Amino acid sequence: MSRVIALTFNAFQENTYLVCDDSGSAVVIDPGCHSSEEQRQFREKVDLEEVRLESIINTHCHVDHVFGNKFVYENFCPRLLIPQGEEPLLQSYPQVANMYGLPADPSPEPTGYLEHLQKLNIGDTTLEIFSTPGHSPASVSLYCEKDGYILGGDVLFQGSIGRTDLPGGNHSLLLESIHKYFLSLPDNVIVYPGHGPFTTIGTEKTSNPFLTNA
């Protein structure tokens, strides 16, 4: 059994997730902790949950999802996994952050890459990787069939979808990703998005205007 713990960080109100298995193993998805206060909050949460971080996982490499890579890598876990097609974004992220007036240190280099339909084991929990581009060039989502949830990065939100006006965005490709890898899941699957509140597949099928009008 696993549990998902959300922390909201940085100026973009990005959702960082800890996926914690009952064995004590855990991974962090999209660490967005930017300020020293946010880093303190992250450390306190990891200590409180008494988990061992095994990997840092970036669903994609926009600035708000990678602010905490360096901190987590240096203090908890020197293993960083990203989609390979997101590597140019990761390398350029300090320059992009500076454009927003948010100075940032470079991220560590990835130690491995996430492949479509790859399965990651965290203790007794398995996360399956889906390639879900459209918001960014090579974004991935992570599905836990056993416990009924998907960590979707910035693909699908409550009542909305990821923006596609950033470099590498593609609206039709994003909709294809959502229909193929989200809407095909059971209605009760929980969607943990990169921003905003949680939702379910069934709710978005019936009420999301970007999908019901597509």
Give pLDDT tens digits for 45-88. 999 999 999 999 999 999 999 999 999 999 999 999 999 999 99
CB 101, CB 67: distance < 8 Å: no
CATH number of the domain enclosing 11: 3.60.15.10
CB 153, CB 116: distance < 8 Å: no
Q: Is the pTM of this model over 0.95?
A: yes
pLDDT at 212: 84
pLDDT tens column, 165-209: 988 899 999 999 999 999 999 999 999 999 999 999 999 999 999
pLDDT tens column, 155-165: 999 999 999 99
pLDDT at 214 over 70: no
Cα separation of 41 and 114, whole Å?
Answer: 28
Domain count, the chain: 1
DSSP character string of 6-49: EEEETTTTEEEEEEEETTSEEEEES----SHHHHHHHHHHHHHH
Q: Where in the sequence is the domain holding 126, given as residue range(s)?
A: 2-212
Residue entry with tokens 């996926």: 19
Closest alpha carbon to 159 in 213, 214, 199, 186: 199
pLDDT at 167: 85
Query: Residue 143 is which amino acid?
Result: Y
Query: Residue 115 is which amino acid?
Result: E
pLDDT tens column, 15-51: 999 999 999 999 999 999 999 999 999 999 999 999 9
Closest alpha carbon to 29 in 6, 57, 8: 57
DSSP character string of 78-114: --EEEEGGGHHHHHHHHHHHHHTT---PPPPPPSEEE
pLDDT at 183: 97
